[in-house]
Amino acid sequence: MKIEGKRSIWKDYQKEIATDRFFYVRSCVRQNFFPGSEKTFLRIMKDVLHKDVFENAAHTTCSGIGYHSDVVPFETAMTMVARQFSIMTESGYENFTTSCITSFGLYSEILETWHHFPEVEERVRQHLLNATGRTFLKPANLSHASDVFFKFRREIAENSTYRLVNRHTGQPLQVVEHIGCHYSKMFPSKGVGGAEYPYVLAGMIEDWGGEVIDYPERRHCCGFGFRQYLVQANRGYSLACSKKKFDSMAPYKPDFILTNCPGCPMFLDRWQYALSEMEGITYGANGLGIPVLTYEELAGMLLGYDPWDIGLQVHQVPVEPLLDKIGIPYDSRRKFLTMDGQLMGQPEPPSHLKFYQHE
């Protein structure tokens, strides 16, 4: 592997990312999947990077999940998105930042469509006006929230307490980065680093002290793929996709997987449990799984936030081995306590996948 080769490709895919005054839109599903992530994003943006990030409660789904599941037509999706833009315009912002990769993909697709077919944009404007009386300006800058952390990755590193280094060996942690398909596979120029060798997460890993693993099935989908999972009859397909990736990455002994999509961490995490129950396979060392993190969780961890405040207890694959490797302290007794100290319930131990015992 020649890293210079990748660097020369990365140079060709630089995108403009706004530096302040972000209109932030949340994902439909992330707060169920990994509830601490978006909160941690906002916390870091405000407390560490001192940025103006604005949210508007009138924001709804962009309908991307319905669009990609074949239940929402493009025409409807465009009008929904036009409404989000009008809310941004009303709020006095012009830098649109999405938490969700599929939203990011859909916004990119729609802006691209309008760019090539201005008559479609006009029609959508008319639809929105007829239905809601709203008008809008298009965003001056569209970025995914991981683009924003990529942009400020060095500032985050400077403020961090920990680095991606194994404290026992002093070696950099080996990290699998997994990019959501809708980030740049549709429009390579809209993603940091392009579609074949995206740099958005790799850049964070490098600057935060780790090393990136490039394994044969790196480009493959995590297995969510909407219809693959949403239709129960297709779930074997979803599982097979994830398995293909785990089988391919396992020989590299990754310390963890880093993701930037709502679905990927969910499926890469939960399917490790399903695979262990169905086939008795585990992919980490000694019967453990490979922890899966969102980039917000990772940034929060390195900044020294309490692991339970950023939501690491809801992971199916325990994250404690990774915390121990880095040397991040945590209180095991508080793992399943709510913010006000109540027991939130505790999962049953899996049959094969090991729960972690603090060393």
Partner 1 sequence: MNRQVAVIGAGITGMTAAGALSELGIDVILLEKEEHTGGHVKNWDRLFPSRRPAKEVLDFTGKSMATGVDIRCGSAVESIGHNKGIFTIRPVKGEPVNAMSVVLATGYDLFDARKKEEYGYGIYDNVITSAELETIFSEGKKLTTHQGTTPQRIGIIHCVGSRDEKVGNLYCSKVCCVTGVKQAIEIREMLPGCEVFSFYMDLRMYDRNFEELYFEAQQKWGVSFIRGRLSECAENPDHSLVLKTEDTLTGRPLKMTVDMMILLVGFVPSPETVRIARMLGLSSGPDGFLLPADEHFHDNTTTIPGLFLAGAVKGPACIVNSMADARATAMQVKSYLNGEMLK
Partner 2 sequence: MAKNFGYKILPGESIDFDRNDKLIARYLVEHEPSINLCIGCGSCTATCSTGHFTDFNIRRMHTFILRGETKHIKKEIQKCMFCGKCQLVCPRGVNLRNVILTINRAIEHLG
21 binds partner 2 (CB under 8 A): no
Applying CB under 8 A, does 64 fall inside the site for partner 2?
Answer: no
Of residues 172 through 191, those in contact with partner 2 by CB under 8 A are 181, 185-186
Q: Which is nearer to partner 2, 3 or 240 (CB)?
A: 240
Q: How far is the CB of 112 from partner 2 (least distance, A)?
A: 13
The C-alpha atoms of residue 344 and residue 347 are separated, in whole angstroms, by 10
By CB under 8 A, tell whether 217 contacts partner 1.
Answer: yes
Span 250-269, contacts to partner 1 by CB under 8 A: 251-252
Q: Would you say 1 or 233 has its CB closer to partner 1? A: 1
Four-point Cα dihedral 88, 92, 97, 103, nearest 10: 10
| Segment 244 to 273, residues that bind partner 2, using CB under 8 A | 244
Q: Which stretch binds partner 1 (CB under 8 A): 139-147, 217-225, 254-262, 292-300?
A: 217-225
Residue 306 touches which of partner 2, partner 1, none (Cβ within 5-8 Å per kind): none
Q: Is 183 in the site for partner 1 (CB under 8 A)?
A: no
Q: In this chain, which of 3, 58, 140, 240 binds partner 2, going by CB under 8 A? A: 240
Candidates 25, 195, 205, 261: give the one binding partner 2 (CB under 8 A).
Answer: 195
Cα-based angle 350, 353, 356 (whole degrees, multiple of 5): 95
Tell me how far, at minimum, the Cβ of 63 lies from partner 2, in Å: 16
Query: Which of partner 2, partner 1, none lies near 347, with the C-beta cut-off 5 to 8 A by kind?
Result: none
By CB under 8 A, tell whether 118 contacts partner 1: no
Q: How many residues does the chain have?
A: 359
Q: In what order do the strands lie in the sheet with 95-98?
A: 53-54, 22-25, 95-98, 141-144
Q: Which stretch binds partner 1 (CB under 8 A): 1-9, 106-114, 158-166, 261-269?
A: 1-9
- From 41-49, 72-80, 214-222, 319-327, span contacting partner 1 (CB under 8 A): 214-222
State the CB neighbour count (10 A cutoff) for residue 17: 19
- Tokens 């199916």, residue? 316
The smaller minimum CB distance to partner 2, of residues 153 and 182, is found at 182
122 binds, among partner 2, partner 1, none (CB under 5 to 8 A by kind): none
- State the greatest distance between any 2 C-alpha atoms of the chain, in Å, as a whole number: 64
6 binds partner 1 (CB under 8 A): yes
For partner 2, the binding residues (CB under 8 A) are 68, 70, 181, 185-186, 195, 221, 225-228, 237, 240-241, 244
For partner 1, the binding residues (CB under 8 A) are 1-2, 4-6, 8-9, 194-197, 214-219, 251-252
